[in-house]
């Protein structure tokens, strides 16, 4: 696997194992690559490595941070003295401690994060600011089992200094230990991972944080990649709502997007394609957790063919975490729609 992926957080739905299949049908091997849903950044980072000018977009601030830290940044890296900034006493409202302790974070981690997020946001150099925020996202996910925020029992045990269950499993023990040890031990390792993903592809790559319809109206490029949320899977707005709240320093609505709403998902997809007719080639990835849930390959192909010739490619791929819904993946369908 592409080694620079280690610089990114491991979000559900990431396309690290599928990038070669996604790029194989692309006609133009240079020019401008548009990523309409940046997400965890793997497709944009791979496009950057292939020499495209990358223009990425995502409405989520957590994804915008990834883009600014890794995709748009061609040269600035993190140093040990940058990590020290996260421990300098900074004014904060204690939101994380008050809201997410002890269900999500033990008090020690919550206090560190309250201070560290405030410290990172106060950094004047934009590249360093987004790198530090990106580092904190990776730190938070590194402390959670499978990067999830739903397992509260273990965290409560750690807060009560009951270590039997948290340290029983070799698979989870290392993540649980990170919540109670000095954060610097984890931050230094994550810093090196992030720095490994920073390189200059000699392009002025762009990152946007817009509604996808507004983004598509103005963007110009040679190929656009669509990876919208999958209807029937857990909405990312809910799954990663804790991250958005932590970064904002307050509770947000974190409402599911139109793509996650069965009543309007297809209609919104149609609007998205209509807004992208000026872009020469489209690659669309989508999936179903069950054959009777979500948008079928045939239905999506029909939508795309209203605008141009296209074909469907079925993929053999299983998500490690059951695509974040906890269902058996034997019936999982993963596919690409490629315009030709």
Q: Higher pLDDT residue, 81 or 1?
A: 81
pTM of the model: 0.94
Question: What is the chain's Cα-based Rg?
Answer: 20
Q: What pLDDT, in 10s, does the model give residues 275-302?
A: 999 999 999 999 887 777 889 999 999 9
- Residue pair 46/71 in contact (Cβ under 8 Å)? The answer is no
Please provide the average confidence, as pLDDT, over all residues in the chain.
92
pLDDT of residue 319: 56
Q: Which residues contact 79 (CB under 8 A, 6 or more apart)?
A: none
pLDDT digits (tens, 9 = 90+) for 31-85: 999 999 999 999 999 999 999 999 999 999 999 999 999 999 999 999 999 999 9
Q: For residues 139-152, give the mean pLDDT.
A: 85
Domains observed in the chain = 3-60+203-235+256-339 (3.40.50.150), 80-196 (no CATH)
102 upstream amide cis, omega within 30 of 0: yes
CB 339 within 8 A of CB 309: yes
One-character DSSP codes across 84-109:
HHTTS------HHHHHHTTTTS-HHH
Percent of the chain with pLDDT over 90: 77
Amino acid 233: pLDDT = 80
Q: Kindly give the pairing relationship between strand 333-339 and strand 281-288.
A: antiparallel
Whole-angstrom distance, CA of residue 340 vs CA of residue 337: 10
Burial label, 161 (beta-carbon count in 10 A; 0-12, 13-18, 19+): exposed
Is pLDDT of 178 > 50? yes
Q: Are 304 and 337 in contact (CB under 8 A)?
A: yes
pLDDT at 322: 43
Cα distance between residue 225 and residue 6, in whole Å:
22
SS3 content of the chain, % helix, strand, coil (to 5): 45, 10, 45
């Amino acid at each position: 696997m592409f080694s620079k992926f280690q610089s990114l957080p491991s979000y559900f739905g990431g396309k690290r194992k599928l990038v070669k299949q996604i790029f194989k049908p692309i006609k133009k091997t240079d020019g401008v690559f548009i990523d309409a849903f940046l997400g965890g950044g793997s497709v944009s980072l791979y496009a950057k490595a292939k020499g495209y000018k990358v223009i990425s977009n995502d409405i989520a601030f957590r994804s915008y941070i990834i883009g600014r830290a890794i995709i748009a940044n061609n040269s600035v890296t993190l140093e040990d003295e940058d990590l020290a900034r996260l421990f300098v006493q900074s004014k904060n409202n204690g939101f994380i401690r008050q809201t997410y302790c002890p269900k999500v974070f033990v008090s020690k981690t919550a206090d560190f994060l309250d201070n560290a997020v405030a410290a990172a946001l106060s950094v004047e150099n934009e590249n360093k600011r987004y790198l530090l925020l990106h580092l904190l996202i990776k730190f938070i996910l590194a402390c959670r089992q499978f990067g999830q925020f739903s397992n509260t029992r273990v965290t409560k045990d750690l807060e009560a200094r009951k270590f039997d269950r948290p340290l029983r499993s070799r698979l989870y023990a290392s993540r649980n230990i990170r919540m109670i040890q000095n954060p610097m031990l984890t931050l230094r390792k994550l810093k090196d991972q992030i720095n490994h993903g920073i390189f200059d592809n000699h392009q002025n790559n762009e990152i946007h944080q817009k509604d996808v319809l507004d983004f598509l109206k103005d963007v110009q490029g040679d190929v656009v990649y669509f990876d919208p949320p999958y209807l029937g899977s857990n909405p990312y707005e809910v799954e990663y709502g804790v991250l958005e709240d932590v970064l904002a320093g307050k509770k947000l609505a974190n409402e599911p997007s139109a793509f996650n709403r069965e009543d309007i998902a297809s209609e919104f997809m149609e609007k998205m394609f209509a807004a992208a007719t000026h872009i020469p080639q489209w690659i669309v990835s989508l999936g179903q957790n069950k054959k009777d849930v979500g948008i079928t390959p045939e239905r999506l192909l029909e939508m795309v063919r209203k605008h141009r010739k296209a074909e469907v490619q079925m993929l053999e791929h299983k998500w490690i975490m059951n695509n974040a819904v906890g269902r058996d993946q034997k019936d999982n369908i993963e596919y690409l729609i490629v315009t030709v």
